[in-house]
Amino acid sequence: MIRSLFLSLLGLAAGAAFAQQPFALHDGDRVVFYGDSITAQRLYTTFTETYVVTRFPKLEVSFTHSGWGGDRVGGGGGGPIDVRLWRDVLPYHPTVMTIMLGMNDGSYRAFEQQLFQVYQDGYKHIVDTVEKQDPGIRITVLLPSPYDDVTRPPKFEGGYNQVLLRYAGFLKELAAEDHLGVADLNGPMTAMLAKAKAADAEAAAKILPDRVHPGPAGHLIMAEALLKSWNAPAVVSEVEIDAARKETVREVNAHVSDLRGGNGISWTELDDALPMPLDEKDPIVALALHASDFIAALDQQPLKVRGLAPGTYTLKIDGAPAGTFRAEDLAAGINLAELPTPMVRQAAEVHALTLKHTAVHEARWRSVQVPMEKDATPHLLPALASLDALEADVVREQRAAAQPRPHRFELSME
């Protein structure tokens, strides 16, 4: 029995140690997202960036989005792989790089060993080149997102996603050999598609409308997979209040002050982070969220208020209604991240600025730098510098918009 108790305690300790692993990104990190057209959509990448900026508003991390449609491990429309790496990755001196390639490399047909060998050799070349130029870089390999053989029948026996899983198996081996990070963008997406199809087959097919490129709904689940691989915390903030005693019982990433009683209870709260801005008014996004664990895994902002008299209460934040709840629901806890709160609206402002700065970079890179890189005009470099400065201005706005703001909470009985 003593041995069993010891093993149980050891297991709990190991679980606690695992749960407390720090977030993978550090102050001063420079992240480059590299990949093909799925990365070029700038969706899972911008969702990831917005999560980091809103969850860690004091963390100074830069993000560069370097996806190019049609890319394979040997390059593509943006040039051969060494052009891509030396122009679109290495000049940013990344400390962190994510790589997602494979969708095009299998050529959308049954598995072929020759294509697979090209993929293996090409992928190793990418990793070796980057590690040689930036020793100490932390690379996360992204297992290829799925080809949708779930909501529609496969085009050939076994389906193309099974080919991508063969490629993913190689990436897992490479990551183990070279001590790289791994994020599985295939398994969670496939599982979500199956659940979504069971709930609404017609809507589920719209998550990957062309079977290759996910819409925002699918990209949220991909961002979740990447963030989980980086040990992203689930909790935005957590507050528990005893209304009967008029005291704060628990504060996590939050600071409660000026707690007052009356017809309910009110207080001022300053959180250290913001929730993710999720557009659940989009039915396809809502379907993907309900068919996944995104909210449970990454978007928890629990508020518990116990000791209230029985009845129904309206929650107002800064004077605006956020929801109506029974006393027992408040005692059990509600998730503020799922409500129309000022914090969610603030996070949406941050995400809009994420999209704005990446659009500036995209225009600078794809519309000016690349098509004009062989031109002799003396104004090219100053123009690029001006666009870099413009993007930096937007990033400063983004970071300022993510900084915590105090809010006044009121719970009053109806």
Average pLDDT, the chain: 94
User: Band of the pLDDT at 25, cuts 50, 70, 90?
Assistant: very high
CB atoms inside a 10 Å sphere around CB 293: 15
Range scoring the smallest mean pLDDT among 13-27, 45-59, 143-157, 218-232 = 13-27
User: Which pLDDT score is estimated for 360?
Assistant: 98
Rounded to an integer, the average pLDDT of 76-80 is 96
* 316, β-bridge pairs: 321, 410
User: Which pLDDT score is estimated for 263?
Assistant: 81
369 closest CA partner among 351, 385, 391, 353 = 385
User: pLDDT, tens digit, for every residue of 298-357?
Assistant: 999 999 999 999 999 999 999 999 999 999 999 999 999 999 999 999 999 999 999 999
In angstroms, the CA 388 to CA 162 distance is 42
CATH T-level assignment (fold) for domain 24-229: Rossmann fold (3.40.50)
pLDDT of 236 over the 70 cut? yes
pLDDT of 35 over the 50 cut? yes
Higher per-residue confidence, 4 vs 37: 37
User: pLDDT, tens digit, for every residue of 366-390?
Assistant: 999 999 999 989 999 999 999 999 9
User: pLDDT, tens digit, for every residue of 81-104?
Assistant: 999 999 999 999 999 999 999 999
335 closest CA partner among 405, 258, 400, 239 = 239
In angstroms, the CA 359 to CA 42 distance is 9
Report the percent of the chain where pLDDT is more than 90.
Answer: 93
Q: Which residues contact 86 (CB under 8 A, 6 or more apart)?
A: none
Q: Which residues contact 274 (CB under 8 A, 6 or more apart)?
A: 54, 55, 57, 236, 343, 344, 346, 347, 350, 402, 404
User: Band of the pLDDT at 20, cuts 50, 70, 90?
Assistant: low
User: Which pLDDT score is estimated for 414?
Assistant: 82
* pTM to 2 decimal places: 0.94
Delimit the domains of the chain by residue range.
24-229, 237-272+301-414
